[in-house]
């Protein structure tokens, strides 16, 4: 017995939704019912399906951000390629990958200075998974490895 996951989100503009997911993130349109009364469109990529309908009332952007909202995380094999695709699209990036690594590194260094021991095993396991699966990202990950106390060579 198999299962799949389809996310449904509610947006102000379906055309903007399609533009972002296709042009910026490389999805394709799977179902397009934008021309019916209760418009709906779904985009797909590598087994991921995200559907969208019009939001029936305005939504405060603050309630969509973590920790109140839901974060959609799409893990990819080639992070550098995806980063280039997003940058080439001209889409504004709130937190580039290298900046997020630097922020995590600073957070861990700060916790160490305060005597707080870093011990999130799931995060450490995920770090090593990324380290082993994505050698092209090692130069960017090395400062984070050092902050975590890992003795690794790029």
CATH number at residue 20: 3.10.180.10
Does 86 map to a domain?
Answer: no
More confident residue, 143 or 46: 46
Is position 53 within any domain?
yes
The gap between the terminal CA atoms of the chain, to the nearest Å, is 42
Average pLDDT, the chain: 81
Please give the residue range of the domain that contains residue 105.
Answer: 97-148
In eight-state DSSP terms, residue 92 is -
In a domain, 88, yes or no: no
- Tell me the three state secondary structure of residue 48: strand
Round to whole Å and give the CA distance between 70 and 64.
Answer: 7
Q: What is the pLDDT of residue 123?
A: 66
State how many domains the chain has: 2
Q: Does the pLDDT at position 108 exceed 80?
A: no
For residue 154, is the peptide bond before it cis, meaning its omega torsion is within 30 degrees of 0?
Answer: no
| SS3 category, 130 | helix
Residue where the block lists tokens 């490895």: 145
User: Does the pLDDT at position 119 exceed 60?
Assistant: no
Q: Give the model's pLDDT for residue 24.
A: 92
Question: Given this model, what pLDDT does residue 111 score?
Answer: 66
- pLDDT for 138 equals 82
Q: Are residues 103 and 69 in the same domain?
A: no
Which of 15-19, 67-71, 116-120 has maximum average pLDDT? 15-19
pLDDT given for residue 104 in this prediction: 73
């Amino acid at each position: 017995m198999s299962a799949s996951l389809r996310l449904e989100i509610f947006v102000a503009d379906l055309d903007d939704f399609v533009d972002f997911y296709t042009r910026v993130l490389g999805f394709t349109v799977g179902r397009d019912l934008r021309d019916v009364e209760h418009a709906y469109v779904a985009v797909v990529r590598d087994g991921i399906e995200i559907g969208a309908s019009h939001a029936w009332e305005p939504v405060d952007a603050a309630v969509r951000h973590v920790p109140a909202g839901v974060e959609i995380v799409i893990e990819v094999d080639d992070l550098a390629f995806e980063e280039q695709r997003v940058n080439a699209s001209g889409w504004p990036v709130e937190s580039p990958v290298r900046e997020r690594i630097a922020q995590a590194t600073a957070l861990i260094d700060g916790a160490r200075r305060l005597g707080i021991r870093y011990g999130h095993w799931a995060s450490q396991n995920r770090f090593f998974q990324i380290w082993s699966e994505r050698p092209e990202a090692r130069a960017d990950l090395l400062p984070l490895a050092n902050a975590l106390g890992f003795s690794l060579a790029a």
